[in-house]
């Protein structure tokens, strides 16, 4: 089925859809059995003057985070890559970076690590960036004061759907304006009204840059609650350098924290897995005790 209409924002019983044939926006309605998510491709029918969602086309993937109760919450779908943006100030901790990466890996979405504000100079910042490059991640060093540093990243956005992620203060808005100049995001469009004058109840918003055939999904507060509740086994799958050792432990339900004959622990001892990354894994696992989902 033709991917002509795409959901850009959602309300409880209506949504906004972009018509990719002429880039117009329409308010669309749906029944309770249909639950569109930002980024969905949908089939529409028109009844008099109203558009209705007839069906949701198959999704390639779903990007999720935790809600305030620690439960898994779907945020966006059909995402090609997530731009994990960090800055020299506020200085990121490795645990924060690793949590973003776990979310991307478990959602089967390609992460792009963007270390912004490099003009401020920080040996720790550069060393951290290089450590992730050595793990095989795509790393970009950017600064809005060094335009050439933006070009390589911008090339990766063409013909893709990219989701922005990062803490407040890392320069997401300024960087986005350089990456997607046609969207003019700093004029306040990240909080614009959609549909027939109704504010979206979900802050997640999809934009389409016709000049690059690129979609941008912005969700302020995307990491307000962080990871949803995960088991140590699930978290381990979010650390890509663990992959060669998973399944090689003595116990099939190994948590990779204390068990004898653990292949991951042995790899750390042998220097094949970074001690810093491993300790971050342990801290993330321990934090899950405080994230057990509630029913209210």
Tell me whether residue 256 is annotated as binding. Answer: yes
Tell me whether residue 174 is annotated as binding. Answer: yes
Q: Are 67 and 61 in contact (CB under 8 A)?
A: no
Tell me whether residue 276 is annotated as binding. Answer: no
SS (HEC) of 89-112:
CCCCCHHHHHHHHHHHHHCCCEEE
Radius of gyration of the chain measured on its C-alpha atoms = 21
- Do the strands 62-66 and 41-47 form a parallel or antiparallel pair, or are they unpaired? unpaired
Tell me whether residue 193 is annotated as binding. Answer: no
CA–CA distances in Å: residue 167 to residues 86, 119, 222, 248, 284: 7, 19, 9, 36, 18
Tell me whether residue 169 is annotated as binding. Answer: yes
Sign of the four-CA dihedral 260, 263, 264, 267: positive
Tell me whether residue 254 is annotated as binding. Answer: yes
Tell me whether residue 81 is annotated as binding. Answer: no
Tell me whether residue 166 is annotated as binding. Answer: yes
Tell me whether residue 195 is annotated as binding. Answer: no
Rounded to 10°, the helix 275-287/94-106 angle is 70
Tell me whether residue 3 is annotated as binding. Answer: no
- Do the strands 5-10 and 41-47 form a parallel or antiparallel pair, or are they unpaired? antiparallel
Strand partners, 44: 53
Task: Kindly report the number of other CB atoms within 10 A of residue 294's CB atom.
Answer: 9
Q: Which has the closest alpha carbon to 226: 101, 111, 116?
A: 101
Q: Are 223 and 100 in contact (CB under 8 A)?
A: yes
Determine the Cα–Cα distance for residues 9 and 199; give it in Å rounded to an integer: 10
Question: What values do phi and psi take at 113, rounded to 5?
Answer: -90, 120
Query: Where is the binding site, in residues?
Result: 116-119, 166-174, 249, 254, 256, 262
Query: Where is the binding site for GTP, in residues?
Result: 116-119, 166-174
Query: Where is the binding site for Zn(2+), in residues?
Result: 249, 254, 256, 262
């Amino acid at each position: 089925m033709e991917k002509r209409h795409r959901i850009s924002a959602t309300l409880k019983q209506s949504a906004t859809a972009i018509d990719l044939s002429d880039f117009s926006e329409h308010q669309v309605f749906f029944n309770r059995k249909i639950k569109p998510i930002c980024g969905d491709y949908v089939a529409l029918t028109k009844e008099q003057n109203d558009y209705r969602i007839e069906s949701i086309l198959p999704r390639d993937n779903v990007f999720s985070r935790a809600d305030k109760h620690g439960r898994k919450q779907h945020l966006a779908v059909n995402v090609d890559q997530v731009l994990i943006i960090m800055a020299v100030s506020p200085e990121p901790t490795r645990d924060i970076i690793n949590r973003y990466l776990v979310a991307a890996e478990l959602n089967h979405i390609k992460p792009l690590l963007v270390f912004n504000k490099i003009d401020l100079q920080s040996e720790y910042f550069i060393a951290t960036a290089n450590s992730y490059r050595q793990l095989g991640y795509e790393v970009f060093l950017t600064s809005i004061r060094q335009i050439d540093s933006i070009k390589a990243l911008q090339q990766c956005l063409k013909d893709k759907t990219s989701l922005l992620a990062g803490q407040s203060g890392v320069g997401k808005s300024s960087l986005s304006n350089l990456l997607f100049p046609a969207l003019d995001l700093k004029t306040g469009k990240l909080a614009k009204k959609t549909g027939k004058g109704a504010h979206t109840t979900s802050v997640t918003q999809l934009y389409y840059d016709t000049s690059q055939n690129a979609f941008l999904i912005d969700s302020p507060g995307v990491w307000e609650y962080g990871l949803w509740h995960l088991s140590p086994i699930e978290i381990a799958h979010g650390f890509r350098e663990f992959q060669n050792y998973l399944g090689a432990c003595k116990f099939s339900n190994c948590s990779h924290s204390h068990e004898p004959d653990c292949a991951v622990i042995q790899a750390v001892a042998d220097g094949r897995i970074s001690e810093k990354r491993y300790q971050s894994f342990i801290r993330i696992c321990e934090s899950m005790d405080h994230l057990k989902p509630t029913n209210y």
